[in-house]
Amino acid sequence: MTDPDDQVTAVRGFNRFYTRKLGMLDQHLVHSPFSLSEARVLYELAHREDAAARDIGIELGLDAGYLSRILQKFEDDGLLARKPLPTDRRQIRLNLTAKGRQAFAKVSRASHDEVAAMLAPLSPEDRIRVTAAMATIERLLEPPAAKPAGFLLRSHRVGDMGWVISRQGRAYAEEYGWDISYEALVAEICAQFIRNYDPAREHCWIAEVEGEPVGSVFLVNGGDGIAKLRLLMVEEKARGLGVGRALVEQCIRTARDNGYKKMTLWTQSILLAARGIYDRAGFERVKEERHHSFGVDLVGETWELDL
């Protein structure tokens, strides 16, 4: 197809097909109280720290008045908090509340399940073809930006456990509304790791960007040839660099080198980014259980990987 008009027609036709396929013409997303525009704004807020309304409007191409009404609705529903910049109180920054992040997690999960159902009838080979074609479209129409900052992984050292405890406690409190009992759990895990540390079978890695810690993961001996992956965490400012994936892959490689036969981990259904990393690394979800922990209702999940 070499005629430019034919090419434009083909692209427009594909856009109509794909929009219809995903059900995005519905007034509200499946299993969600949000319209498509509201869900897109929710996504931007979930992936930005101290977002500005103007930046979100430019990114999504939304009318300022329409965006303002969406943001006001979010604030009225307790999903959004506004705060002035300390350096210029005339500038307002937007952040999701813990309730807002939980709402986003539900929307994201529903969208994930919808796409998974769409891909399910395809063979593994056809799924690869579809996703490869999508990657090609994205790469050609929007070339990658400048190379992001690099990072390195190093072994833990004195002082790192304190950082892990502090950052885990604060991050999950701010993003998901978990109470201080989670920080106590992390402290117990770190203390046990230090007291029983076996360098031949266990390890902790700290990710750094320009000398600053931005992530961590633990490999712990679970007994009977089973390795446990614990306390994966990546700072919000370092997300998108591949830090989480690198930490998990390092953990898996070391477990294999150390002769473990299986790796297991426990996570929560709302931790969508981490779950995506585990899924791509080959882990399978083998158990889920509802529980009330850290001051909130959660769905705990056990994932396993044969090494």
Token duo for residue 285: 């979800």
Average pLDDT, the chain: 86
Tens of pLDDT, residues 218-241: 999 999 999 999 999 999 888 878
Neighbours of 116 (CB within 10 A): 9
133 phi, psi to nearest 5 deg:
-65, -40
Structural domains in the chain?
4-141 (1.10.10.10), 152-306 (3.40.630.30)
Region 260-264 average pLDDT: 95
**So what's the pLDDT on residue 85?**
63
Pick the more confident residue, 164 or 143.
164
Task: Average the pLDDT over each of 18-22, 160-164, 205-209 and give the range with the smallest value.
Answer: 18-22
Q: Cα(47)–Cα(214) distance, rounded to whole angstroms? A: 17
pLDDT of residue 203: 94
Q: What number is the average pLDDT over the span 163-179?
A: 93
Other C-beta atoms closer than 10 Å to the C-beta of 218 total: 20
What confidence tens digit (pLDDT) does each residue in 58-91 have? 878 778 888 889 999 999 999 988 887 655 566 6
Tell me the two tokens of residue 195.
């007291």
Residues in a beta bridge with 80: 96
pLDDT computed for residue 25 by the predictor: 42
CA angle 300, 301, 307 (to 5 degrees): 150
Pick from 178, 22, 186, 44: nearest CA to 102? 178
Q: How would residue 27 be classed by pLDDT, with cut points 50, 70 and 90?
A: very low
Place of tokens 């609705």: 73
Question: How far apart are alpha carbons 12 and 79 in whole angstroms?
Answer: 35
Q: Which two tokens stand for residue 237?
A: 């400012």
Two tokens, residue 38: 């509201």
The per-residue b/e assignment along 60-96, b for 16 or more CB within 10 angstroms, e otherwise, is: eebeeeebeebbeebeeeebbeeeeeeeeeeeebbbb
> Exposed e or buried b for every residue in 272-295, given b needs 16+ CB within 10 A?
eebbebbeebebeeeeeeeeeebe
Beta bridge partners of 289: 300
Residue 293 has pLDDT above 90, yes or no: yes
Q: Which pLDDT belongs to residue 188?
A: 96
**Residue of higher predicted confidence among 145 and 219:** 219
- Give dist(CA 177, CA 170) in Å, integer: 10
| Secondary structure of residue 282 in the 3-state scheme | coil
The mean pLDDT value for 155-172 works out to 93
Q: What is the DSSP string of 67-100?
A: HHHHHHHHHHTT-EEEEEETTEEEEEEEEE-HHH
Please check the confidence at residue 261 and state whether its pLDDT lies above 70.
Answer: yes
The whole-angstrom separation of Cα 245 and Cα 243 is 6
Q: What is the pLDDT of residue 94?
A: 86
CB 108 within 8 A of CB 271: no
- Does residue 39 have a pLDDT over 90? no
Using a cut of 0.75, tell me whether the model's pTM lies above it: no
Q: pLDDT band for position 57 (50/70/90)?
A: confident
> Are 102 and 270 within 8 A, CB to CB?
yes
Return the higher-pLDDT residue of 229 and 105.
229
The mean-pLDDT minimum among 150-154, 175-179, 273-277 falls in: 150-154
* Calpha distance 116→103 (Å, rounded): 20
